[in-house]
Chains A and B, each alone.
Chain A
C-alpha cells in the first residue's frame, strides 16, 4: 500500500498492520489482549500505529475470553480477543466454548507458529483449527497476507449475524510479518452462509391463529430476545394479548421481572408458577430459547398438552429437542415485528392468567432467615432494591447463580450476564471486567461463590488497573455449593472434595487488598445495611465476602430426569 491509511501516521507495511487496520475498519473499540512470541508483530504494530481502540490486559487468556463475552453481552458488539499461540490459544478454549453455547458474538485472534514449521510440534505450537472447530461458529487459519482483510471482514460478519457466535482466526507469525505490497480486497466470499432473518409470513400467521384458538397460552422468552435487542417488541406483543411469560436463564431481563405477567424462570430451579404454566398450557410460544435440558426437565413430560410454536434464528434448534408444530425461522426482533404487524385477534385469557398468577402468589420463591446468619437470597433481594432492579448483574456458576436469577428482579434487557450453556465456574470476574468496560456508567454487580471466584481471581488485577468500580459479592458457604447440594440430596451426604472449610479457603479480604481492591467481610444480617451503604455509596471496586450457611439450598429443584412438575422444595420446608 503506497498511501498512508487515513487513520495511521505511517503506511501499512506488514500483515500485522493489515490486521490492526481491519480491526479499526470493523469498528473495534476494545481489544482484550495478552502478548506472546507469536503475536509480537501485531503488538508491535499496535505500538507503532496507535489505533483508536483500547487494549485491555487480563492476567490469563481465559480471562480475556470471558471479558470479551461480558462486553458482548451488555453492548451487543462482538468481543475481540488477541492471544498468542500454543498455551495462549488453548487458554481461550473455555471462553470460546462458553460463547458458542450462549450464542455470543466474539472474534478470537490467536498467534500461530510460522507456516514453514506448522505440524512439526514447534515451540508453542497447538492445532488451533483442530481444537476450535467443534466449539466455534467458524474458524480460519490465514495462509496468505492478501487474505487478511477478507478473512477479518468475513469473521465479523459471521460472528454477528444469524445466530451469533465465536469465530477464531489463527495467524501464523510469518503472515503477520509478511510485507504488504498492494491494497487487498476485503470483499466477502461466503456462498454457503445466508442466515434467514425475516420470518416466513404464513408461519407468523399460524402463530396468530394458534393464539386465537388457544385457551391457555404461555410465552417462553429466551436469550435470543436479549441478543436481538427485541425486548421492546416483546413487551408490546405480550401486553397486546396478555399472555403470561416464563423465561429461560438467558432470557432473564428480556421481559421485566417485576411485570405482573412475569412468572419467573422455568426449569430445574425455576418457579412453581413458571413450570406449572408450561405443564398446563395448550400453546407454548418459544421465542429465542433453545429448549435446553435444564429448562425442559424430562422431555417425555414437557408441555404435554401444548401446541408448540418455536421462533429461532437457527433452524437447527427448531425440533432438535422438542417437537414443534409451528416452526418460525427468523431473528427474534424481525419475528416480533411481523407478529405485531398482523391484525390483532380478539382473545381473552383472563381465567388462565388468573390461575397462573394465583400459583405465583401461593407458591412464591422462599427462604428462611437462619438465626442472625445471612440468607443469601435476602442479600440478593437487598442488592436488587439498592440498585433499583437496574444493575448489570454478572454471576459465576453455582448456587449463587441460581439465587441471583431467582431473587434479583432484573427489569432490563442485556443486563444479566451468566454462563448458561457451558456452566463455567470462573466466568464471573472476567465477565464483570468486560461488562464494566462495555458499560462504564452502569453499576456492575458480580455475584460469585468461594469456589467459582478462585478459578479466575487473578483478574482482580484488571479491576484495579482499569479502575473498574465492580461490586464483587462472594457468597462464601465454604463449599462447592451446588455439588454439595447434589451430594446431600442424591449421593447420601458423601461430600467428596466439595468442602472448603477451615484453612482451605484464602482470606478473601486480604486477597482483595493484596490486589489493591477494598475488601469487607460480613457475617451477620445486621452488618449488611451498613455494608451496602458503603459499597453502593461510591464508585470504588469492592470485594465483599459474605459468610453464609453451607446448608442453605437452592429450591425449588427438579431432580435430574424428572418432570418439571416433580419439584422439590416448592413450599417452605
Chain B
C-alpha cells in the first residue's frame, strides 16, 4: 500500500541523508521524496511517497521517523483530504509535421512550453501522478527524449 508522509525537519546538512538511510536500513521502499525550505528558513518540509506492506509497517515507519532528533513533526496524510502535485519536465521529439499534433495533445493538460528547438520541445506539466502519466503515455509515440519528475509534494486542504 502506498502512503504519503510529510515530515517537518530541521534544515541542516545531513538530515536528508539521515532519513533516507533510516528508510534503507529498515527496508522501506521510497517511491519519491521532495524537499524544500519553509518560510522559516531553519525548517524544511519533506514529502515521502512510500510503499509499505501493512498498516503496522506504516505505523512503525512513522514512529521511526518521529524518533529522529532532527524531525519536528510527522504526518501520514494519505487518508486526509489533501492537495498533492507533481511536476514533470518532458522533452519530446517533434518534426515540422508532428509539431501541431503535439501541441494539440498537450493543450488540455494546461502545460507550459519551456523550450523549443528544431527537433524537440520541452514541456512543463503539473498535476497529480495520473495526469503526468497520461501525458507521458500520449507523447510516447512521438519519441520522448528525456523526462524529469519531481515526485509528489502534498499537504492537507484548508479547513472550511
**A133-B21, A134-B25, A192-B70 are known contacts. Are A316 and B10 too (CB-CB below 8 A)?**
no
- B71 x A192 contact (CB < 8 A): yes
For A130, the closest partner residue in chain B by CB is B17
Q: How large is the interface on B (under 10, 10 to 19, 20 to 34, 35 or more residues)?
A: 20 to 34
8 Å CB contacts to B: which residues of A135-155? 137-138
- Interchain residue pairs A-B with the least CB separation, the first 5: A316-B63, A192-B72, A138-B69, A192-B71, A193-B69
B75 at interface (Cβ–Cβ under 8 A)? Answer: no
A190 near B69 (CB under 8 angstroms)? yes
| Contact among B14, B68, B70 with A129 in the assembled complex (CB-CB below 8 Å) | B14
> Which A residue sits closest to B71, measured CB to CB?
A192
Contacts known (A133-B17, A133-B18, A133-B21); A191 close to B72, Cβ less than 8 A: yes
Within 8 A of A (CB), among B58-99: 59-60, 63-64, 66-73
Bound-complex Cα distance A130 to B17 (A):
9
Bits for B33-67, please: 1 = Cβ < 8 Å to A, else 0. Answer: 00000000000000000000000100110011011
Tell whether A319 is near chain B: CB-to-CB under 8 Å.
yes
Give 10 pairs: A residue, B residue, CB < 8 Å, sorted on A.
A129-B14, A130-B17, A133-B14, A191-B72, A192-B9, A192-B71, A314-B67, A315-B66, A316-B67, A320-B60
- Any chain B CB within 8 A of the CB of A262? no
Using A314-B67, A319-B56 as known contacts, say yes or no to A191 and B21 having CB atoms under 8 A apart.
no
List B contacts of A129 (CB < 8 A).
14
Contact B64 A316, beta carbon cutoff 8 Å: yes
Pair B69/A315 contact, Cβ less than 8 Å: no
CA of A192 to CA of B64, assembled, Å: 13
Give 10 new A-B contacts, CB below 8 A, not counting A192-B71, A192-B72.
Answer: A133-B17, A134-B21, A191-B10, A192-B68, A192-B69, A192-B70, A315-B66, A316-B64, A316-B67, A320-B63
Cα separation A512 to B56 with both chains bound (whole Å): 53
Shortest Cβ gap from B65 to chain A (Å): 9
* Interface positions of A from 292 to 349, Cβ below 8 Å from B: 314-316, 319-320, 323
Q: Which of A479-522 contact B (CB under 8 A)?
A: none
The distance in angstroms between the C-alpha atoms of A443 and B128, with both chains bound, is 68
Provide the residues of chain B in CB contact with A137, threshold 8 Å. Answer: 69
- Contact residues of B: prevailing secondary structure: helix
How would residues 110 to 145 of chain B score, 1 for a CB under 8 Å from any chain A CB and 0 otherwise? 000000000000000000000000000000000000
Q: Cβ of A316 and Cβ of B60 under 8 Å apart?
A: yes
Question: Taking the complex as formed, is A31 at the interface, i.e. its CB lies under 8 A from any CB of chain B?
Answer: no
Q: Is A158 engaged at the interface, CB distance under 8 Å to the other chain?
A: yes
Beta-carbon contacts of B10-25 to A below 8 Å, as 1s and 0s?
1000100110010001
How many whole Å from B84's CB to the nearest CB in chain A? 24
Asked whether, in the complex, the Cβ of A315 is within 8 Å of the Cβ of B63, the reply is yes
Q: Provide the bound-state CA to CA distance between A234 and B70, in Å.
A: 34
Contacts of A190 in B (CB 8 A): 69
What is the CB-to-nearest-CB distance from A40 to chain B, in angstroms, rounded to a whole number? Answer: 27
Contact check, A192 vs B56: say whether CB atoms are below 8 A apart.
no
A residues near B63, Cβ cutoff 8 Å: 315-316, 320
CA distance A193 to B71 in the complex (A): 8
Closest to A154 in B: B69
Distance in Å from the Cβ of B41 to the closest Cβ of chain A?
14
In the bound complex, how far is the Cα of B21 from the Cα of A320, in angstroms? 19
Which chain B residues lie closer than 8 Å to A315 at the CB level? 63, 66-67
Q: Which residues of A contact B18 (CB under 8 A)?
A: 133
Bound together, the chains give a CA A165 to CA B45 distance in angstroms of 27
Chain A nearest CB: distance from B54 CB in Å? 11
Q: A191 CA to B8 CA in the complex, in Å?
A: 11
Name the contact of A319 in the complex, choosing from B9, B59, B66, B69 (C-beta under 8 A): B59
- Alpha-carbon gap, A315 to B59, bound state (A): 11
Question: In the bound complex, what is the Cα–Cα distance between A192 and B72 (angstroms)?
Answer: 4
* Chain A residues in 8 Å Cβ range of B25: 134
Q: Would you call A192 and B59 a contact (CB within 8 A)?
A: no
Give, as a whole number of angstroms, the nearest-CB distance from B121 to chain A: 40
